[in-house]
Chain A
Amino acid sequence: MHAFDYARATEPSQALDLARRPDAAFIAGGTDLLQLWKAGIARPELMIDISRLALDIVKPRDDGIAIGALARLSDVADHPIVQARWPLIAEALNAGASAQVRNAATIGGNLLQRTRCAYFRSGDMPCNKRAPGSGCPAIGGENRSHAIFGGSPHCVATHASDLAVALAALDASVRVAGPAGSRLVGIGDFYLLPGDTPQRETVLGQGQLICAVDVPATAGRAAYVKVRDRASFEFAVVSVAADLVIDDGIVARARLAAGGVGTRPWRLTEAEAALIGERADAAAFDKAAAQASNGAEPLAHNAFKVELLRRTVRRALQVAGGKA
């Protein structure tokens, strides 16, 4: 296996400094990066350990919450204020991985985890994401787990994070720091469509650090519904995050995002629009769910996701709508 050097950063500025080397990579929980390194997919010459930076703090405010990028998934999921005011985040985190992984993995690393596409993970089959220009065998091959939204002739891999789906529904932003200062990027702008550069997945530049995720306050009722091939410890086939504001029985605001179906976390804007101003009842939920798959472009082996997405949306709306 490819050998690398190791440096532990104690300050964000030091981490950014070390990361000026183009062959360096940050390692946080290491749960994805070490998998990719073992498979020969990530080949950094220097691993910059950022896991001890003081960016692991969860700071609730009146108008939202700032979650440090180095906060562990388990600590965020167990945080009483996250559970009380942003249950969607806690639910999405607890629906993913295992206790071991959630204890080590971080919020920033979760957002940057690479796709579970088997061609990508194989390390040696053609894959435009891993080896640009080598082709995408998924398009004409095994594509049951691939995207029905956002694909291109070059890549149809889904984004695997559960957390990112919840954050997309909550209109979160990602705080990014680079040598030139820091900026806030809405999660809808953070992830890129594959287009003809599927190797680029986010707007994060080489050597830039995610410092935190900002989530606005929500008065909504929330539900995260994840459908997978086994009952636990598995990535989503389809997942849906719903955040509904209901006034006097009428839907005042609806936010829906889906995982397992898009090349990035996917907002379901037509289904959202179908709910606004409607009475929050089974008929309205059915009507909205029917819109969820509009525009889907299924592949040979994943057409089932079109109907599964509608049903998962309906379930998420029922669960969220049923909460007091």
Chain B
Amino acid sequence: MSKTHVTTTINGEPTEYLCEASQSMLDVLRDELDLTGTKEGCGSGDCGACSIIVDDRLVCACLMLGAEAEGRRVLTIEGMSHGDKLHPLQQKFIEMAALQCGVCTPGMLIAAKALLDRNPNPSETEVRFGLAGNLCRCTGYDKIVRAVLDVAAEQRETTR
């Protein structure tokens, strides 16, 4: 089986890699590119730990082939902060203790970013609907939902 050559953009950086046709995007990120922030929970689309953003769409990296990233723009958790400056969602998750073991956190943050990028003014119901694909076994979700709503409110303040 021949390897596929892929040219893509990951976290703003032009990136090239060779992958097996049967490697998932999650495998490529973690095993080939050493971007291990994206987690594997289930490998079947059920938990959202592997969430990434591809061309402005939130998807599960475990259900995408590495070869499918050709010509796309990929954003992973490693691209969320600006250098040492955390993204407001990351900062708020820390302040509000919206994480415990942290396994769901990279996927949760990426999903929350995708949600706010599309809808800067979500209701609580919309936040819960938007994050339904991200399972958390620790926090009980309330702190996560409140953190996302708080960031949305603060971002609306500063852009006013």
Q: Which of B8-16, B60-68, B75-83, B94-102 contacts A (4 or more CB under 8 A)?
A: B60-68
Distance from A201 Cβ to chain B, minimum over Cβ atoms (Å): 21
Task: Report B104 CB to chain A, min CB distance, Å.
Answer: 13
Q: Which of A31-39, A205-213, A313-321 contacts B (4 or more CB under 8 A)?
A: A31-39
Given known contacts A6-B65, A100-B45, A104-B59, what 5 new A-B pairs fall within 8 Å (CB)?
Answer: A27-B65, A34-B64, A37-B22, A97-B45, A99-B129
Q: Taking the nearest CB of chain A, how far is it from the CB of B123, in angstroms? A: 15
Contact digits for A80-110, partner B, Cβ 8 Å, 1 yes 0 no? 0000000000000000011111011000000
CA distance A5 to B111 in the complex (A): 31
Residue numbers in A under 8 Å from B43 (CB-CB): 38
User: In the complex, are the beta carbons of B133 and A98 less than 8 A apart?
Assistant: yes
- Can you report 30 A-B residue pairs in the complex whose CB atoms are below 8 A from each other? A2-B22, A5-B1, A5-B2, A5-B21, A29-B63, A31-B63, A34-B62, A34-B63, A35-B45, A38-B43, A49-B65, A49-B67, A72-B57, A74-B57, A97-B133, A98-B48, A98-B132, A99-B111, A99-B129, A99-B130, A99-B131, A100-B51, A100-B58, A100-B59, A100-B60, A100-B111, A101-B63, A104-B57, A104-B59, A233-B132
Q: Assess whether A233 is in contact with B133, with CB atoms less than 8 Å apart.
A: yes
Q: Judging by beta carbons under 8 Å apart, are A6 and B45 in contact? A: no
Interface positions of B (Cβ within 8 A of A): 1-2, 4, 20-22, 24, 43-45, 48, 51, 57-60, 62-65, 67-68, 70, 111, 114-115, 128-134
* A4 beta carbon closer than 8 Å to chain B: yes
Q: Which residues of B contact A35 (CB under 8 A)?
A: 44-45, 63
- Contact present for A3 and B130 (CB under 8 Å): no
Closest chain B CB from A312 CB (angstroms): 21
Are B130 and A34 neighbours in the complex by a CB distance under 8 Å?
Answer: no
Question: Which residues of chain B come closer than 8 Å to A1, judged between CB atoms?
Answer: 22
- Rounded to whole Å, the gap between the CB of A106 and the closest CB of chain B is 12
Contacts of A29 in B (CB 8 A): 63
- Which residues does chain A contribute within 8 Å of B1, judged by CB atoms? 3-5
User: Smallest CB–CB gap between B133 and chain A, Å?
Assistant: 2
In angstroms, how far is the closest chain A Cβ from the Cβ of B48? 6
A162–B68 Cα distance when bound, in Å, is 27
**Residues A103 and B57 in contact, CB atoms below 8 Å apart:** yes
Is there a chain B Cβ closer than 8 Å to A182's Cβ?
no
Q: Which residues of A contact B67 (CB under 8 A)?
A: 6, 8, 49
Whether the Cβ atoms of A34 and B48 lie closer than 8 Å is: no
A145: chain B residues at CB < 8 Å are none
Interface string of A1-41 (1 = CB under 8 A from B): 11111101000000000000000000101110011011000
Contacts of B130 in A (CB 8 A): 99
Residues of A within 8 A of B133 (CB): 97-101, 233
B60–A3 CB distance below 8 A: no
A239 close to chain B: CB less than 8 A: no
Closest to B50 in A: A100
Residues on the A chain within 8 Å of B59, using CB? 100, 103-104
CA distance A5 to B22 in the complex (A): 8
- How far is A286 from B24 in the complex, measured between Cα atoms in Å? 50
